[in-house]
Structure 1
Amino acid sequence: MKWLLVGLLVVFLLLGSFLLTPSPIDSKAWDAPSPPAMTGVLAPNERLRLADLLARGEVYGPEDTTIGPDGVLYTGTQDGWIVRVHPDGTVEHWLETGGRPLGLVFDSNGNLIVADAWKGLLSITPQGDITVLTREAEGTPFRFTDDVVIAPDGRIYFTDASSRFQQPDYVLDLLEMRPHGRLLRYNPKTRKTEVLLGNLHFANGVAVSPQGDYVLVNETWKYRILRYWISGPKAGRAEVFADNLPGFPDNLAVDGEGRYWVAFPTLRNPRVDAMHKSPWLKDLVAKLPDSLKPKPQNYGLVVAFDRNGRMLTSLHDTRGTHLQEITSVNPHDGVLYFGSLHNDRIGRLPLQAIPGLGEATP
């Protein structure tokens, strides 16, 4: 009996300590829309399992990919390396950024532009010299530099996913559900950085239209894609491009036919959607160990859209054993390359292997 009382006392003390410990977040309620049915264009298939696997077991977390002027595939990994995968399959750890390289793109001078979650927006010469282009905008430092793309006029569009939480704490940003993300633009000529859109719920992937008249940005926690007009009668305005998506949209890219390819690391989580209605519950969950916080489902998903936001096709790995937690999809010379935040491989799939793809709406 004595040991039972002692045990109960310990439990009450631990519970009291847990309840009295301040939460790391100040969450906000949100009523998530019902997810779309996985039918029609979204009907599950196993097309991602047709992809070849590159650098399998030799990279960890190749979050984004890009093909350089030298024909070599570049990616950034969780341990801070820029890794090169040569056409013959050789994997080379090229250089370390000292941070966590995420979005990658080459500029017209052959420099690799990197959105580094910890270091900001970087430029790396072919010789491996690193320059920090920008680390803050309007007095607010970047805390989670995420994706990057270059417009036809040379200006660089990129995202700061959250001005409050850094990369390891992205789940806290999800639970808090407050708009800490920004869409930004860097001008290499003036070296000035400006905020185009603020108050975004995790600003993630970016893609500029082939004509350079608008940029798309994924608002991950809201399950939607926004279109920000760069030029034309709507210049400076934003609108919803695609809404109520089947998962959490991450990076996106446009192919030569004007199709926008969007990577989804995981499907919607009904428990997370339900929790969003109860801020007090989210505040408690945020205090739990990471092992008890919501986890992504092992699933591979990529969806293609036309320029009007209409879904064209989807690629799945329903078991998530071949390609899962896909964070980027990059078209190049008729081939799609798939990156992942935590996987140990890069996927490669020819567009011609995708049945009934058709062409994008002009």
Structure 2
Amino acid sequence: MVSFRDSFIASEQNCVEFAGIVETTPFPRRGEKEGREGEEIGRKMRSGIIVSAAALAFFSIFLTLNPDIGPPRSSSTGAAAAAGTTFGGRARDVLHGAELLHLNGTTGPESLAFDAEGRGPYTGVADGRILRWGGAARGWEDFATVSPYWNRERCDLKGEVMGDEEVCGRPLGLQFHEATGDLYVADAYFGLLVVGEGGGAATQLAVETDGEPFRFTNHLDIDQVNHTIYFTDSSSRFSRRQFAMLVASGDNSGRLMSYDPKTKEVKVLLKGLKFANGVALSRDRSFILVTESSGCRVTRLWLKGPNAGKTDVFAHLPGYPDNVKRNSAGEFWVALHGRKGPLSVVLQYDSWLKRAILKLPLNFQRLHKMFMSKRSQAMAIKLSEDGEVLDVLEDREGKSLRFISEVDEFNGDLWVGSVIMPYAGLYKL
């Protein structure tokens, strides 16, 4: 088996850290010295303005010529072949054979969960609802809503990828508590919630800790023995709607937290995470994994044993990881949302350019397109309990699956979610 640390030593160049970005104020304050220093400041300002103007012009043309996210284009033979080289040829291009379970009038089945009786999957979608798959004959059925303000007319997406999320909610992470049958939900705007067995309106459990509100609650997992809920807040500064700024700024204010259902206490377990995203507890409950999307890595926090309280890098990845999910064998499936696009790398070196791009009047689809690699593909990576690569499944040309957010292995099948696409995928192993 191939170690991630060996396999991806070169891939870190494709997902460069943003920690070194130095922000400069657009209009530096003048001191008392007016001579050469003032002229130098003026020169830099003029250069920055020229660069920004050029960037605006260039990317206006770029966006005009490049449509929104839509049906995938076939990649060249060379590009498709190159996709398999990251893992030394081990990756299998098979996910294009997945069955697509289309949603009706909505999009973005981000996370997937099955209840104790095997019903499901359940998934949260972009209009604030939680749906349940009732089989081919019944399709997707309403199960719950996360917002007390939800109503069908206001929350209808009307063809958009992102609707009125701040009002309607955006349920992202889902997980069932096996003993109670309750469904716990991480919603980007309404924090940590729970839905009873019968569905309906969710009950809000937590929206802040130590006086600091959650800004972007994202994913969760549950310790089925001691009932602790582990969940992420992707950023303490940016909301989900500001995801582009979150990535481009190099923000590292993400947190991993725990919630005790008995005491209602929220604890911060980890700070300083770069776009904290997916969460998965190990089978023996000795450690927990959290994906850092901007950092292109999976971080491990030890909960028990001689390393308790310590962290290490569990896996380096060749792109942006979304959720991580453990299967019944104790292995982990990581969904790779996409590879880093050229613009993401350029922005870290030029703060003027970064500000110019982020001020453009862009919708969600165009912002997403700018930060992602041009090739829309799906990649699901299975890791052992030690972080070794066990399997890599792809849809290299994005024929069926693209921009995947979660891979859930259940009863021998892979159920695949996406935060953007209007369907979930079912691939039979």
Q: TM-score range by the shorter chain?
A: 0.7 to 0.9
Determine if the alignment matches structure 1 residue 72 to structure 2 residue 131. Answer: no
Aligned residues: 320
Correspondence for 1:83 among 122, 127, 131: 131
Cα distance in 2, alignment partners of residues 286 and 231 from structure 1: 43
**What residue number does 1:112 align with?**
183
Within the candidate set 224, 227, 233, 2:306 is matched to 233
Superposition RMSD in Å: 2.2
SS of the equivalent of 2:321 reads coil
Q: Distance in 2 between matches of 1:89 and 1:80?
A: 24
- Name the residue aligned to 1:96: 145
**CA distance 1:44–1:310, change in 2 (3 Å):** closer
Instruction: Compute the displacement of 1:155 (Å).
Output: 0.3
Moved more, 174-183 or 276-285: 276-285
Asked if the contact 1:215–1:227 (Cα under 8 Å) also holds between the matched residues in 2, the reply is yes
TM-score normalised by the chain length of structure 2: 0.70
Name the TM-score, length of structure 1 as normaliser: 0.83
1:51 equivalenced with 2:51 (yes/no): no
C-alpha distance in 1, partners of 2:260/2:340? 36
CA spacing shift, 1:323–1:238, aligned 2, 3 Å: same
Q: How big is the shift at 1:45?
A: 4.0
Q: Match of 1:173, SS?
A: helix
> In 2, Cα distance between the equivalents of 1:277 and 1:286?
15
Match of 2:422 among 335, 344, 350: 344
Q: Any conservation in 1 of the 2:343–2:371 contact (CA below 8 Å)?
A: no
Counterpart for residue 309 of structure 1: 387
1:188 aligns with 2:188: no
Aligned residue identity for 1:296: M
Shift of 1:37: 8.2
* 1:311-342 alpha-carbon deviations (Å, 9 max, x no partner): 12211111223011101111222221110011
Q: Distance in 2 between matches of 1:296 and 1:63?
A: 18
Is 1:256 matched with 2:304?
A: no
CA drift at 1:41: 5.2
* Structure 1 residue 284: Cα displacement: 2.3
The letter of the residue matching 1:122 is L
Q: Could you say if the C-alpha distance between residues 184 and 79 of structure 1 is closer, same or farther in structure 2, counting changes exceeding 3 Å?
A: same
Contact 1:42 1:313 in 2 (8 A): no
Q: Which residue of 2 aligns with 1:4?
A: none
Residue of structure 2 equivalent to 1:247: 319
Per the TM alignment, residue 308 of structure 1 is displaced from its structure 2 partner at its CA by 1.6
Deviates more, 1:39-48 or 1:93-102: 39-48
Distance in 1 of aligned mates of 2:397 and 2:103: 18
| Alpha-carbon distance in structure 2 between the residues aligned to 1:66 and 1:154 | 17
Q: CA shift at 1:269, angstroms? A: 1.8
1:199 aligns with 2:272: yes
**In structure 1, what is the Cα distance between the partners aligned to 2:293 and 2:195?**
28
Q: Given that residues 63 and 339 in structure 1 are in contact (C-alpha distance below 8 angstroms), is that contact kept between their aligned partners in structure 2? A: yes
Change (3 A) 1:69 1:181: same
- The 1:332/1:58 distance shift into structure 2, 3 A limit, reads farther
SS state at 1:222 partner: coil
Whichever residue aligns with residue 208 of structure 2, its letter is E
2:180 counterpart of 1:139: no
Deviations 1:195-237 (A, max 9, x none): 0001111000000000111100001101111000111111111
Which amino acid is 1:69 matched to? A
Structure 1: distance between partners of 2:196 and 2:175: 12
1:145–1:160 contact (8 Å) kept in structure 2: yes
Closer, same or farther: CA 81–56 of 1 in aligned 2, 3 Å: closer
Change beyond 3 A, Cα 1:58–1:43: farther
- Structure 2: gaps spanning 5 or more residues: 1-48, 54-82, 148-168
Q: Is 1:320 aligned with 2:398?
A: yes
Matched, 1:121 2:168: no
Task: State the partner residue of 1:130.
Answer: 202
| Kept in 2: contact 1:250–1:328 (CA 8 A) | yes
> 3-state SS of the aligned residue for 1:249?
strand
Give the Cα separation in 2 of the matches to 1:89 and 1:237. 49
In structure 2, what is the equivalent of residue 62 of structure 1? 109
- The answer as to 2:236 corresponding to 1:163 is yes
Asked if 1 retains the 8 angstrom alpha-carbon contact of 2:319 and 2:336, the reply is yes
Q: Shift of the alpha carbon at 1:162?
A: 1.0
Matched-pair contact (CA < 8 Å) for 2:84–2:92:
no
Residue 265 in structure 1 maps to residue 314 in structure 2: no
**Aligned residue in 2 for 1:29:** none
> Percent of aligned pairs with the same residue?
35
1:158: how far off? 0.3
Matching residue of 1:174: 247
Structure 1: tracts of 5 or more residues without a match: 1-14, 20-35, 354-362
Q: CA deviation at 1:129?
A: 4.2
Change (3 A) 1:278 1:118: same
Deviation per residue, 1:165-216 (Å, 9 max, x gap): 1111111100000212000000111110000001111000000000111100
